[in-house]
Each structure stands twice: as structure tokens, then as C-alpha cells.
A and B are shown apart, each in its own frame.
Chain A
Amino acid sequence: MNFDDTPQEAAFRAEVRAWIDANAPKHLEAELSQATFGNSGLSSEDPIAAAKAWQKKKADAGWACLHWPKEYGGRGATPIERVIWGQEEGVYGSLGGLFIIGHGMCGPTVMAWASEEQKRKLLPPLAAGEEVWCQLFSEPAGGSDLAGLRTRAEPANDGTGDWIIRGQKIWTSGAQNSDYGILITRTDPDVPKHKGLTMFWLSMKTPGIEIRPIKQANGQSGFNEVFFTDVRIPDAQRLGAVGQGWAVSLTTLMNERLSIGSGMPTGFPELFDYCLNLQTEDGPAADNPMVRSRLAQYAVRASGLKYTGMRAISALSKGETPGPENSIGKLVAGASMQELAMFALDLQGQAGVINDPAHAEAAQKFQAMLLRSPATRVEGGTDEILRNIIAERVLGLPGDIRVDKDVPFKDIPTSGRG
């Protein structure tokens, strides 16, 4: 049992380290390492331009989307090489936030379902960060119940084979910065809900698309509503067969779980550091047994996630597939962050309410966490959906009873919205 690289891994790491050392945007390092959860990070320059510049530099040297095949803009690297890259990229990796959806979800879906010609056209600019992609899945009437979506795609009546899209998506991360999107639609409301779906890709500049930012509960705007009014797209932009959209969407969602070893933030290092320095009447907060007990509980969760990640990386290193234990990451991290933020504010006493940069303790770090953390427990699969996934796929428990499973979509009762 050890944390050592194999000789091949060590050689690869040395190569990565040397390249990053020579090429990373070092003038941004301090600012990026100060970035905390709930805050975007860069203010000294345009974060989108900085993200695109770093991605392009990586792509030109063959370090973009490492695990993708070379012909699509990747490096054909092994999973463990991808992990090593992530470890070495460090704070600069946070510049890649703009591309997470495109590289992690849209790219793999296009790779699995598009024509060869389309793949060679679409994927290299996506890998190089020249084009940004978003994922148009969730709707006001279909979040956890994604297959309940209502955005319609109907054949145009003019014999072109084109499709006309009408409807609305919501919670689309980065739509306002995106050049392309993958879009799941309903093409047949007369069959049960999972069977009447079809997936497309499209340019976000297509006429009839309107993007409106959502003002979130924490006051920021990272997500959008996207409206489709008679948007026309050619049949060649269909991914998979008509009615096969659910299977195509599963390719996307499965890829969501493949990002291993990246480590969800729990907020523990920040809280620990804060408690060491926060002076109370009885000395540092970390001297108080109650505080220590709570800190210890958060510490073992953060440590448990870290070493669960190490186990997964070890499996990759041996050429094995990591086990299902990785499914716990977001569930544990999301809940930790929220509890821990509440605890940090509690330690500040009545002043914990202050969210004013001029007066707040610890530069509002925990206030921002508190206000952002509810989203972590919802986005990319709610805590409840994640528990269902663990219960069903890991522990082998029965699926939920679904009363709408065999009912034509148009006959499913709705709450009258969307």
C-alpha cells in the first residue's frame, strides 16, 4: 500500500509538470488560489478570455481533453494520466469551469452518437476551447423526472425533413457563453414518456433561441432559462434515432460520474483554518471541546472523500474500473458544505449575519457558502436522486414504483405548469 507513482506514471507526471511550469498563466495563480466556493475567482481580467486562452494553449501542445482520441482533439491518454494531469494542473484547472459541461458531457455524447464527419468538425474546436457547449436538458416541469420534459420537436411540413422546436429549458449552465448545445426534446407524446424523446445538437445562434439569466436565491446568475420559438434545425443534427433520446441522454449522464479524483470541495480546510485563528474570550475557537468535536466530524468526512478518491485512482492505475464508492462524493460534500457554513456563522455569534465585505469576518467566505450550498444539493442530481442511485445500483434495491411508466405521455397528470 503506497501513494507512489509507477515509473511510467512518474515519467508522465514529470513531463506534465515541466510543461505546466513553462506555460501556465502564472500571473493568475494568486488570484485563482484565493477563489472560494460561491465566488467566481478572477476579477483582474475577463475570466472567459483567460479560460479560452489557457485551453487553446493546452490544445496546441496536445494537453486538451487528454482522454479523447487524437483525431477529435484529445491525446488518447489513459484514465490515470488524466488524473495526474488534473493533480498537476492544480489551481489552473479552475479556469476550465467554462468547459466542464462541454468536455464532460456534450463531447462524449457527440462522440458516441454523431456521424464521423460531424465528430471531426465539432469536437476539435470544443476540445481547444474555441467553442463552448451547454446541455439543454432540465425543464420547469422535468428536473429529477427528466423524462417528463415537454419541449416539442415536430417535423416541418415542407418536406425538408427539418425539425421545428418549441418550448423551454431551465437551469442551463453557461448558455449565455455557449456556441452550441445538445438538446433533448419530445417528438412523440402518444407513447410512454421515455419512448417519445429525441436528441439533437444545435448552434446557440440559431434564430428563435432566447436566453435569459436566472437570478438565483444567492443573488448571482450562473444559470439560464432558454426559450425556443419555432427554432428550425436540420435532421442531420439529430443524435441517435427518433425516439431514442432517452438512451442518448444516459450516455451524457453516465459521463457525469466519470470525473474521478477531482474532489468536491467540502469547505473543511477553510473552517479548520478559521477556527485556529478565531479568538474567543477563552482563546482560539479550536480550544473549545464542542468546536473540536464538530471539526472532527467534518474532518473525517473530508478525509473519507479524499481517500475514497485515492482508492478510485489506484483502481485506474491498475487498469481496473473504479467501484461504485465514487457515487458518494457530491452527496457528502454538498451536505457538509451547508452544515459547516451554518456552524461557521454560529461561531461568529450575532455578527454571523453580516455579509458586508467591509465588515464580515473571514471575508464573507462562509456567508457565500451558506447562500450557495443549497444549489449543490440539487444540481446534477438531487441528494434524493443520488440516494436512489446508491440504493438501486450499488445495493440492489428495487426501483421506485412509477405510476406513469406505461401511460402515454399526453395522459400523464401534471401540476398545470410548463
Chain B
Amino acid sequence: MNFDFSDEQKQLREEARKFLAARCSPSAVRAILEGPEPFDRELWKGLGEMGFLGAAIPEAFGGVGLGHLELCVIAEELGRANAPVPMASSIYLAAEALMVAGSDAQKAAWLPKLASGAAIGTLALGEGVGRVTERAIRAPVANGKLTGVKMPVADGDVADLAVVAARGPEGVSLYLVDLSGPGVAREVLETIDPTRSQACLTFDGAPAELLGEAGQGWRIVSDVLDRAAVLMAFEQVGGSDRALEMARDYALERMAFGRQIGSFQAIKHMLADMYVAATLARSNAYYGAWALSTGSAELPVAAATARVSATQAYQHCAKNNIQVHGGMGFTWAFDCHLFYRRANGLALALGSLTTWEDLLIERMRRRNVVAA
């Protein structure tokens, strides 16, 4: 049995960690939090040059042609560094959607640019408050023109390409929309995590090119979200580990009542529980990675398992990291809130925790029926 990453993949993780330590310091993240830039453009360019963006994109379409396991270890490091880049939107979602459903011409048009970072993609699903379901997709496409409002769209303010779920003649379908084209208005939204920007996109007759089979949009979206859920779970696991380390380090350094606070059982036990959550999430993420990389029929269950576990773990670790830091954890100057913001932002990014809990049980049930 080899339920682990290979030595080469672990080495890639080390490379990514070193690269991000040099290029994505906490102060670089803070510059995005506090400054006018929507994301770290230099870092994004560097990720493209290192081949990290194109790790799972085939060489024929400008990628490095490694695979999803390689992308998983890179994602883990991006999460650990809290990287302020549109990786999830462009790579886990837009590029995956193109790879799952795109024609060769569509792949050739966009994947090389996404792999290099020259273009940014995103997936536009939601249309306001509430769960994103197939029925909630209302934005219409008629005669190849898209109208309607998509909100929130992650990185919609900076994206060049949107994969949009919209209602066409055959039902919900996916469309490629060039966001630099006509009929597109963007509005930047304030959010709980300013290191990952969100936008409201208003379409008014924007040219929309069908992606994948007409009327099959929701099926493709589900598949793409499963793939992204596994990759994002690795970001969440990386963030969980980092939040735990921060809390541990502070517990060793901070003195109160004449002792290191890490010598108090109340603190030790809180940290032990963070370790438990992070460990369960890591093992579940590995399960997701296995299913994604082998094309297993278990992917729907594995992705939902990885997603639920990673969301719980990151929220748990990020909030208790603040708790261990006490009052200092609630200052703007300490970095704890960056992880708290990211944890809670990622918890919603691909659909909320309860949405995925629901999916997990529904899928386990269906698997039971199939097995019986």
C-alpha cells in the first residue's frame, strides 16, 4: 500500500514551500489586505514561471503535464502561505472546466494563457444570497448573448475569462465569456477576506460561447466543483497546519502567571484538538487526492468528505489560533485574522458547509444503493 505522496511530489512541496517563503511573506499578504491591489501580481507571475499554475494542465495545452497530485501539494503550500492570488478561480475551477468539457479549440485558446498566468479565469455560478443549486441559475442566454447578474464571482474583478452557468434553450449550460468583451460590467465587492477579491458581474448581451454539451451545465459544474473541492481542501489543510503552528509557537513564547501559557492544560488541550481536526482533514484530503488522480468513481464521495473535513478543520484551527493568542489575536497587527478571514472565506467558496454535508450523505446513500 502506498497511500502517500511520492518522494518527487514531496520534493515539489518543499520547492513550493521555499518559493512561497521567499515570495509570499506575511507582509506581502498584508500588502494586498491593506493596499489597492486586488492580488499579488508579481507572485502570480512567479507561480506561472515556476510551472505551478500549469502543473495539471497537459503539455499540449501549454501546461507542465504533471498531474493532480502535484497540484495538491502546491495547493497545500498556497494555503499555508495564505497566498493572495486567484489560483482557485483560474486553475481549480476555470482550467478544470475547460479540461473536463472544452473542445480542443477552446482548450487551445485558453489553457496556455491560464497555465502561464497571462490570463485569469473564474467560474460564475451564484446570483445572490442562498445556496447555489441548478434551479437558482436564472441568468439567460439567448442567441449567444448572456444577460443577468452573477454575484459573488471570485476574482471577477480581475478575470479575463468567466465560465458562466446560465439558462439556455436546453436548460442550464456552461458558457465561456470573454470579460474584456462588450456587455460586461464589473463591480468590486467588499468581503470578509480582502486577500481574495470578489465581484458582481452584470451581463448585458455579452457574447457567450457554449462550453460542453448544451443542457449538461449542472452535471459539468458538479464534476468541476468536486475537483476543485479536493484541491481547495489541500489549501485548507495547509492553512490549518499553519494556524496550529502559530498557536503552538505563541503558547511556547507567551508567559502568564509565571509560566508559558502552553503549560496550562486548557491551552494544551485546545491545541491537541486543533491537531486532531487538522490530522483528520489531511487524511480525508489524501482520500480526495487519490480519487481525483485515479479518476475513481468514488470522487463524488471522496471530494465531499475532503471538503467537509477541511472546512471544519480550518475554521476550528483559525478561530482557536485567535483564542490562544488572547487579546493580541484580535489586533490588526497580528496575522491571526488573516487566517481567520481566509478560513471563513474558503468555507463558502465552493458552496457552504451544510451544502457539502448534504451532498456527502446523499452520495453515500446512492453509493450504498449501487453497491447493494
Contact = CB atoms under 8 A, between A and B. Distances in A.
Nearest to A388: B268
Contact of B263 (A80, A295, A397): A397
A381 B309 CA distance: 26
B91 interface: no
Given A1-B293, A332-B276, A396 B365 contact: no
B283 A397 contact: no
Contacts, number: 165
A396 B248 contact: yes
A311 B308 contact: no
Contacts of A307: 3, 283-284, 286-287
B305 A303 contact: yes
Contact of B5 (A1, A9, A306, A317): A1
Contact of B2 (A304, A314, A398, A401): A314
18 contacts: A1-B290, A2-B1, A3-B1, A4-B2, A5-B1, A276-B368, A293-B357, A299-B361, A303-B284, A314-B1, A314-B2, A314-B3, A387-B269, A390-B272, A391-B269, A391-B271, A397-B260, A398-B259
Contacts of B294: 1-2
B1 A292 contact: no
Interface in A264-283: 272, 276
A310 B361 contact: no
Contacts of B365: 276, 286
Contacts of B280: 300-301, 304-305, 308, 328, 332
A217 interface: no
Interface residues of B, number: 51
B273 interface: yes
Interface in B264-313: 265, 267-269, 271-273, 275-276, 279-284, 286-287, 289-290, 293-294, 304-305, 308-309, 312
Interface residues of A, number: 51
A301 B273 CA distance: 13
Interface string A298-337: 0111011111101101110110000001001001100000
Q: Across chains A and B, which 8 residue pairs bring their CB atoms closest together, nearest first?
A: A304-B280, A296-B357, A391-B268, A307-B283, A387-B272, A390-B272, A300-B309, A398-B263
A328 B271 CA distance: 13
A293 B354 contact: yes
Given A391-B271, A401-B259, A331 B276 contact: yes
A292 B357 contact: yes
A46 interface: no
Interface in A9-62: 9
Given A3-B1, A296-B358, A328 B276 contact: yes
Contacts of B283: 303-308, 310-311, 325
A167 B149 CA distance: 79
B69 interface: yes
A400 interface: yes
Contacts of A272: 364
B252 interface: yes
B238 interface: no
Interface string A109-134: 00000000000000000000000000
Nearest to A310: B3
Given A293-B354, A397-B263, A398-B263, A391 B279 contact: no
B1 A313 contact: yes
A296 B272 contact: no
